[in-house]
Amino acid sequence: MTTLSELTSVLRSKNAGALLCTLDLMFEDQITYEKVRDSGVLTPSLIADLYGLSDNEVSIIPYDVAYAIKITIPRLYKSGDPDDSDIYGAQQHAPLLDIDIPV
C-alpha cells in the first residue's frame, strides 16, 4: 500500500465559494491516476467519515484528461465567519494525506 500523499503530485484544498471547499488530487501520469481512480478507496462514505459529513454532501469528480480528482465538501463554517479557522480553506486536505491506496 502507498499513501495518497505519495501518489499525488499536488494534493491541496481551497475554497469553492464561501460555503464549499474543494480538495484537488493531481497526478503526474495516467497510470498512477487510474490506479487511484479505480482503486475503489476514494468513496463518498470514506470522505464523509473523515470530515464528519453525510455521504450525500460529498461530490467526487474524476477528470481523466487532467489526471485529477476533485472532491467537493461543505465548509464547517462559512468563509470569513468569526468561528472559521481557515478562511481560504487551504488546510482542509490534511485528512487525505495518509489514505492507503493499493498499488
Task: Give the pLDDT score at 88.
Answer: 92
Strands 10-15 and 59-63: unpaired
Chain centroid to CA 73: how far?
8
More confident residue, 87 or 45: 45
Does residue 76 surpass a pLDDT of 90? Answer: no
Kindly give, in sequence order, each residue whose CB lies less than 8 Å from that of residue 51, ignoring residues fewer than 6 positions away: 58, 73, 95
pLDDT tens profile 12-66: 999 999 999 999 999 999 999 999 999 999 999 999 999 999 999 999 999 999 9
- Average of per-residue pLDDT across 74-88: 90
103: confidence class by pLDDT, cuts 50, 70, 90? confident
Rounded to two decimals, the pTM is 0.94
Going along the chain from its start, the domains and CATH numbers come out as 2-76 (3.30.70)
CA dihedral of residues 70, 45, 98, 94 (deg, nearest 10): 60
Start-end of H helices in the chain? 4-7, 30-38, 44-51
Kindly give, in sequence order, each residue whose CB lies less than 8 Å from that of residue 73, ignoring residues fewer than 6 positions away: 20, 21, 23, 47, 51, 53, 57, 58, 59, 92
